[in-house]
Structure 1
Amino acid sequence: MSLATTFLFFAIHLASFVKLECNEEYHGVYGQQSLLQCNVKAVENVTILTVTWKRVEADPLLLEFHKDTSNLTPGFKFAEPSWNKDNMNVSLLLTKTKMADKGVYECMVTTDRGDDTATTSLSVTAKYITPTMSSIPETNIKENTDVTIFCNSTGGQQTGLIWWFDQDGYNWTHRTELVAKETDDGLFSLSSKFTVQKATSSYTNYTCKVLNSNGAEEGVASFVIQLAPQVSGTLWGKLGLW
């Protein structure tokens, strides 16, 4: 057997001791943790010498373990809090997922019995947060006064919708105004207003629902118009106001 053949035989034999297994795809949610799970499988006990994680579309390493030292990019770390070179779980944890984190990730592991490389992809979705509501005027509103109610939400991945309903379930969306804007983080904010004409105590409860671009509900809030307390005729008489 020639020297080259012998070297190739031992290289193949050595490499067969180690295999890095990762799921092909993961789904993350904006603002939450994302776990890219990868585990080293070996036919016998091995010691990890080097671990690197990077996003294929970018050059800088997100995580590097080498010579008992770990270098971590903020927001990325080993999933195991007390990870060490004898731990075969080399999964990567994104502590607060951003839209820019989506893409293909590459993990490379070198051990004292061989090495392997694997890739996995991360998709990221974002949902609108629970909307907030307010009104002008805010409180002590006299009956038969026009009241403008506002509904606001942020965090959507694409332009969404806001639907309005009264306490009987009637849809008033056709009478509302909606403004959608893209924010600095690549997400969207929604702001909608609905003017209740001549508000009365018979109809004080209104609801706004936030829908994503596919029409699925992602948030809902309710609002009660704060009308001024009604003063009885007897009290008005005692006050000398009639």
Structure 2
Amino acid sequence: MCPGLCSPIFLFLVWGACWGLITAESPITAQFGRDVTLSCLFPSQPRMNLQHLTITWQKEQVGAEILVVYSHYYGREQLARQDEAYTNRTWLDPEGLARGNASLMLRGVRTQDEGIYRCHVTSEQGTTSETRQVTVMAPYSEPHLTLDPTFRLGHTLLTFSSGGGYPRASVEWRDGMGINLTELSSTTESVDIRGLYTLCSELAVPVGQSTNLTVLLVTAPGRETPVQHITVAAGPGQRCSHVWLLVACLGAVTLSVILAVWILGPPGRGTCGRCSESRFAGTKDVEHPSPQSQPGPSTCPALGTPTTGLRADLPVAPSPSRQGSVARS
């Protein structure tokens, strides 16, 4: 007795597989923008009447009406009910029908073409149905990495970006020990009109320590693709910080010297050091001297002695009153 193996469902599956009526699902990966062929074979015989051949390709949609991708009956294509998304994008080799080949070529694969397709063939030999699952793949562009050492005091900002890819992916950051740093990062994504994704991820790392990082694109659970290896050295960041600190200190010292010179200033011409000291001490050695008692231009007000800067060795011209008394004598 074989209660399980002799059930009607099991016998139907075996019979259908032997005669090519039911074919197991075979996944196909289609490259974005290229052509892909969805195979579909059915039983045939020589001199088969193709006028009795009916071929229909359909695409299933979750929660929506089934789309008609391609139809062929009465010996020719019937595209009146073809969905507009596949207009001028399908091709079936008419010569292959006599050999039992109803494979369909889909031109210029788009992200919207992803899904499950069914091929139904009815001929003099019976009915055949095949299923094809299509996944679309578009490689992400060459990763672009930028470093911003002025992002925040003591931190360097790493920015990773890549675009034009499909399916949707996520970015992971890991250090040299394999520790996941993704929670410390910030990632944004955008989608263009073609359905392709662009990712931008940022991670701030401390300055002053060497760090080895790996950036990964994760397109599906367990499917991780390392796309960038980064080494952030401590030396350049520290030297940069030290240089800026040195420049700031030199600038402060220079400004202090300039202010001191401007406030204090050099001693005025014709004054001695004691006069300068007296002036900055807030005292005066000679207070408002009268014109008669004011020393000459070559005399120091504090000491009453000639200054070296005014040529005190030159003879002094006699006053007019003295010249008159000499003439009368």
Indicate whether the TM-score tops 0.5.
Answer: yes
1:92 equivalenced with 2:104 (yes/no): yes
Q: CA deviation at 1:164?
A: 1.1
Distance in 2, matches of 1:58 and 1:117, equals 20
| Max Rg structure | 2
One-letter amino acid of the counterpart of residue 222, structure 1: H
Q: Deviations over 1:128-168 (max 9, x none)?
A: 74461321449xxxxx772322243564545x432112445
User: Which structure is higher in helix share?
Assistant: 2
1:74 aligned partner: 88
Q: How high is the TM-score relative to the length of structure 2?
A: 0.45
Distance in 1, matches of 2:78 and 2:139, equals 36
Q: Identify if the C-alpha distance between structure 1 residues 45 and 97 changes in structure 2 by more than 3 Å, giving closer, same or farther.
A: farther
User: Which structure is higher in strand share?
Assistant: 1
Q: Identify if the C-alpha distance between structure 1 residues 65 and 193 changes in structure 2 by more than 3 Å, giving closer, same or farther.
A: farther
Contact kept, 8 Å, 1:165 with 1:172, in 2: the verdict is: yes
More contact order relative to length (CA 8 Å, sep ≥ 6): 1
Q: How high is the TM-score relative to the length of structure 1?
A: 0.58
2:207 partner SS: strand
Q: Identify if the C-alpha distance between structure 1 residues 153 and 74 changes in structure 2 by more than 3 Å, giving closer, same or farther.
A: same
Q: Identify if the C-alpha distance between structure 1 residues 189 and 28 changes in structure 2 by more than 3 Å, giving closer, same or farther.
A: farther
1:165 equivalenced with 2:177 (yes/no): no
Q: CA deviation at 1:170?
A: 4.4
One-letter amino acid of the counterpart of residue 178, structure 1: T
Q: Identify if the C-alpha distance between structure 1 residues 192 and 147 changes in structure 2 by more than 3 Å, giving closer, same or farther.
A: closer
One-letter amino acid of the counterpart of residue 25, structure 1: E
Q: Identify if the C-alpha distance between structure 1 residues 89 and 106 changes in structure 2 by more than 3 Å, giving closer, same or farther.
A: closer
1:31 aligned partner: 31
Q: Identify if the C-alpha distance between structure 1 residues 48 and 103 changes in structure 2 by more than 3 Å, giving closer, same or farther.
A: same
Structure 2 gaps, min length 5: 1-18, 60-64, 80-85, 240-329
1:52 equivalenced with 2:55 (yes/no): yes
1:10 aligned partner: none
Contact kept, 8 Å, 1:64 with 1:70, in 2: the verdict is: yes
2:183 partner SS: helix
Contact kept, 8 Å, 1:51 with 1:90, in 2: the verdict is: no
1:42 partner SS: coil
Among 192, 207, 210, which residue is 1:198 paired with?
Answer: 207
Q: CA deviation at 1:209?
A: 0.7
Among 122, 137, 150, which residue is 2:132 paired with?
Answer: 122
Among 216, 219, 230, which residue is 1:209 paired with?
Answer: 216
1:152 equivalenced with 2:162 (yes/no): yes
One-letter amino acid of the counterpart of residue 55, structure 2: T
2:98 partner SS: coil
1:38 partner SS: coil
Structure 1 gaps, min length 5: 1-18, 139-143, 231-242
Among 32, 40, 43, which residue is 1:41 paired with?
Answer: 43
Q: CA deviation at 1:76?
A: 2.5
Taking only the aligned residue pairs, the percentage that are identical comes to 15
> Superposition RMSD on alpha carbons, in Å?
4.2
1:62 equivalenced with 2:76 (yes/no): no
Distance in 2, matches of 1:35 and 1:21, equals 20
Contact kept, 8 Å, 1:151 with 1:191, in 2: the verdict is: yes
Question: Which residues in structure 2 correspond to 1:166-181 (within 5 Å)?
Answer: 166-167=175-176, 169-181=178-190
